[in-house]
Amino acid sequence: MSNEHERPDKQANTTLDRRKFLAGTLGAMAAAPLLGMSGIVRAQSATPAKTTGSKQASHRRLGPLQVSPIGLGCMAMAPGFYNPAPERAAMVRLIRDAHAMGVTFFDTAEVYGPFISEEIVGEALTLIRNEVMLASKFGFNYKGSSVTGRNSQPAHIKTRVDGMLKRLRTDRIDLLYLHRMDPKVPIADIAGAVGDLISAGKVRAFGVSEVNPETLRGAHAVTPVAAVQSEYSLLERLPEVAMLDTCAELGIGFVPWGPTMRGLLADGFNAYSRFAAQDRRASVPFLAPEALETNMKIVALAREWAQRKDATPVQIALAWLLAQRDFIVPIPGTTKWPHLRENLGAVDVRFTAGELAEFRNALTALSVVGNRPASKAQENE
């Protein structure tokens, strides 16, 4: 049996049900780590359809940072999330292969593991540190390896960053996020602490995650915010209520996590799918048994467009996000090489303005069960 954590040049007869195009591109798979992201092969002609509206660029900006249009989320590389603990050496190889394929933006956090994801990312990127942008996050207290609550007191932030730098094997973090708002600490104090870290050269840019527009404005007034990270996908569209317009107004980038609907777009799921108790998705409302039958209609829409675009549903979802605003940089996570290659192929999927309007009309006509209500747009998570 092949090991799907390995690169395809080390695999035999690798198959992926949702990727018909693999059958015709085995040679390209072996060469893929040598290509830039724009050269990743997908199931379409060599010349993609022209794009109107938001054009796909070779790079995007998050404040002062220039990054690849799709990054790599590294949360699941630590145990305790969606998968059994992956082999560490395989995750190091995957991250390095992602860079060789054109990825320059890698996302982690100290709470992932905790600490394990940062250690993996640090090991993987140590020899290519100056060629990539590295993002991590703070915001919690720990007792050993247990999370004991939120803490964004300024002194605590600075102490946590020193530990992060050691685990990441670097002298600076390119993008440091507030992971979740600490209700006991004013946002001005949090932003000021990160500003101090920027002045000290330990951090290059400030980010916030799952905050409301008012909190974002408060942070930005003290220390310029480069990016907001929040869940955004075909199914979870809360950022469209107010956050995306706020980011556009302030010149702030937006980084969607969960852009492939927590993996629901994979062919292995249907209305009868159930998740093990230890799988984080078991507690996600839009993946609950009573929600799946309704929400699978969005999956069906993505599959329909995948047929039209000679792509995969995952690629349609990512390409749709890229087409919404030119400051959006999705960070799909994966622990598997074929999925990595599939995700990055989304940069070659193009929508015309008419297609985007048609897609939007079909999407808004579908009901969604279990996503966050519009009122949540004014709350901090």
Structure tokens at 203: 């951090």
Active site residues: 112
Q: Which domain holds residue 167?
A: 57-369
Q: pLDDT-based confidence at 82, cuts 50/70/90?
A: confident
Q: What is the mean pLDDT of residues 248-262?
A: 97
| Residue 36 within any structural domain of the chain | no
Could you report the per-residue pLDDT of 188-239, keeping only the tens digit for each? 999 999 999 999 999 999 999 999 999 999 999 999 999 999 999 999 999 9
Q: What is the mean pLDDT of residues 78-87?
A: 82
HSE of 259 in the Cβ direction (CA atoms, 13 Å)?
30
In sequence order, which residues have a C-beta less than 8 Å from that of residue 240 and are 6 or more positions away? none
Q: What is the mean pLDDT of residues 118-135?
A: 98
| Residue 233 within any structural domain of the chain | yes
Write phi, then psi, for 159 (nearest 5 degrees). -65, -45
| Residue 379 within any structural domain of the chain | no
pLDDT of residue 5: 54
Q: Is the pLDDT of residue 69 over 90?
A: yes
In sequence order, which residues have a C-beta less than 8 Å from that of residue 286 and are 6 or more positions away? 235, 236, 261, 295, 368, 369, 370, 371
| Residue 230 within any structural domain of the chain | yes
| Residue 31 within any structural domain of the chain | no
DSSP state of 188: H
Q: What is the mean pLDDT of residues 249-268?
A: 92
Could you report the per-residue pLDDT of 268-325, keeping only the tens digit for each? 788 888 888 877 888 889 889 999 999 999 999 999 999 999 999 999 999 999 999 9
Q: How far apart (Å, rounded) are the C-alpha atoms in residues 99 and 93?
A: 10
Could you report the per-residue pLDDT of 12-32, keeping only the tens digit for each? 333 334 444 333 333 333 333
| Residue 24 within any structural domain of the chain | no
| Residue 10 within any structural domain of the chain | no
| Residue 247 within any structural domain of the chain | yes
Q: What is the mean pLDDT of residues 260-265?
A: 92
pTM of the model: 0.87
- The secondary structure of 216-259 as a DSSP string is HHHHHHHS-EEEEEEE-SSS--GGGTTHHHHHHHHT-EEEEEST
pLDDT of residue 133: 98
Q: pLDDT-based confidence at 3, cuts 50/70/90?
A: very low
Q: How many domains does the chain have?
A: 1
Q: What is the mean pLDDT of residues 159-183?
A: 98
Q: Provide the CATH number for the domain around residue 288.
A: 3.20.20.100
